[in-house]
Chains A and B, each alone.
Chain A
Amino acid sequence: MTHISVTVDGTTYEDEVEPRLLLVHYLRDRLGLTGTPIGCDTSNCGACTVELDGASVKSCTVLAVQADGCEVTTVQGLARDGEWTALQRAFHERHALQCGYCTPGMIMAARDLLRENPHPTPDEVRKGLEGNLCRCTGYQNIVRAVLAVAEGETAPADQAASAQEVTA
């Protein structure tokens, strides 16, 4: 067993874990944060995407011990006081999901994309979400949702709250 200290969605956890425990299993099975799903288990689908110290990673391809001392953000840590971020709202409003299985990973990957490239072209959105597979939507509405946020049709992720104040 190895001791780890990980901050997940703002809460710090101290735990003893087996070195072989995958981060996604730690989040789901140990912390009960089942908002992050497992899609493929072969590192291909991106459903399990979370942020590790501010960068997107596939949590099925990271050991919990590698996250020791780090900050993890899951899709469950995005909303503030029950208010969705702009990306979450855009996915909802633009029908960017059907079954929703890929959605947590898509949203985490899209956050990463917009952080690196706040004004992507449709092509750049597709490239940026290359590691995330969706079996339902055909991607069109996912791309539209991300572009809508980039174009400010919904406020950028981290400014959602202040933008609401402005429009209120």
Chain B
Amino acid sequence: MIPPAFDYARPTSLDEAVRTLAEAGEDAKVLAGGQSLLPLLRLRLAFPELVVDVGRIPELRGIREDGDTLAVGALTTHHDVIHDPLVRRHAGLLAQATETVADPAVRHRGTLGGSLAHADPAGDLPAVVLALDAELVAVGPRGRRTIPAREFFADYLQSTLAPDELLVEIRVPKREGWGFHYEKFHRVAQSWAMVGVAALVRRDDGHIAEARIGLTNMGATPLRASAAEEALTGAGDAEAVARAAQSAAEGTRPSRDASASPEYRAHLARVLTKRAVLAAAGMG
């Protein structure tokens, strides 16, 4: 399959990229790793006039510490996220979930920023940055702004980025001492999540003091399982966790497709939340 024809620009600096996008308006599309965009182009589900390849802008790649925060450049590949010692130390959930994304070849090209900007509710990383309470930094012709993860995902395949804005950085608060686990249910190797649960747990004296849970594929956007988070506070054993996990699907609107009904997805959310929290809390 051959993509539709488009013009191609490859800016080498952030300023140039922002200018190029601003001049092109709505008909331009950002190309990062291309692992979602190229399949869409090949299927002729997207028809940009201009593709702006931001893959060679060095300042958008790499991971650094910034006080209590880990700053991950939007163009950092899944592969680099997984192997980065800072991510492993301070944001283990992100590393663990990224390991479940696609396969090694896709992870060599695909980027964290692309996965978030693509805003696919079946993608694993949107629910993870939601659970981590990350902030997303965007740059456009009107300057730089910081968007909390909970305000970033607007709808199915839609973020709140303007067409002329570039996602440049993902700021992840370091979560020292928190247990974490990403539990993903999929039919076959390499396939997307039917449902996924990202759990972060802070324990105090054998009890869960605080839980943060992000849900993959339980609606048009990634969601927090707020009712379950609340119910988990104070849980001290596996039974209490199982009880709290019963409310994991509250307030969600999972879709129906060839592989699962909404009811089945709700069931999965409850089961996977229990598993993820038990693993995160070390109660398994």
A contact residues vs B (CB 8 Å cutoff):
2, 18-20, 22, 25, 41-44, 46, 49, 52, 55-58, 60-63, 65-66, 68, 109, 112-113, 116, 126-128, 130-132
Contacts and interface: CB of A to CB of B under 8 A. Distances in A.
Given A43-B35, A44-B190, A109-B105, A65 B5 contact: no
A132 B102 CA distance: 11
Contacts, number: 83
Interface string B24-45: 0000000100110011011000
Nearest to A58: B105
Given A20-B6, A128-B104, A55 B79 contact: yes
B105 A49 contact: yes
Interface string B45-84: 0000001010100000000000000000000000100000
With a 10 A CB-CB cut-off, give which of A49, A61, A62 has the most chain B CB atoms. Answer: A61
Nearest to B105: A56
B105 A20 contact: no
A131 B105 contact: yes
A37 to B, nearest CB: 15
A58 B38 CA distance: 11
Contacts of B4: 20
A94 B8 CA distance: 45
Interface residues of B, number: 29
Given A43-B35, A49-B105, 5 more contacts: A20-B4, A20-B6, A41-B42, A55-B79, A58-B106
B204 interface: no
A61 B37 CA distance: 9
A46 B190 CA distance: 11
Q: For B4, B53, B190, which residue has the most chain A Cβ atoms within 10 angstroms?
A: B190
User: Top 8 closest A-B pairs, CB basis?
Assistant: A131-B103, A19-B8, A55-B108, A20-B3, A56-B105, A130-B103, A130-B189, A130-B190
A57 B108 contact: yes
B104 A56 contact: yes
B45 to A, nearest CB: 12
B258 interface: no
B53 A57 contact: no
Contact of A61 (B10, B38, B104, B190): B38
A130 B105 CA distance: 10
Given A20-B2, A20-B4, A57 B105 contact: yes
Nearest to A55: B108
Max chain B C-beta neighbours (<10 A), residue from A41, A60, A112, A130: A130
A22 B4 CA distance: 11
Which of B4, B102, B109 has the most chain A CB atoms closer than 10 A to its own CB? B109
Nearest to A25: B2
Contact of A42 (B34, B39, B105, B189): B39
Contact of B55 (A18, A66, A113, A132): A66
Contacts of B108: 52, 55-57
Contact of B34 (A25, A46, A63, A113): A63
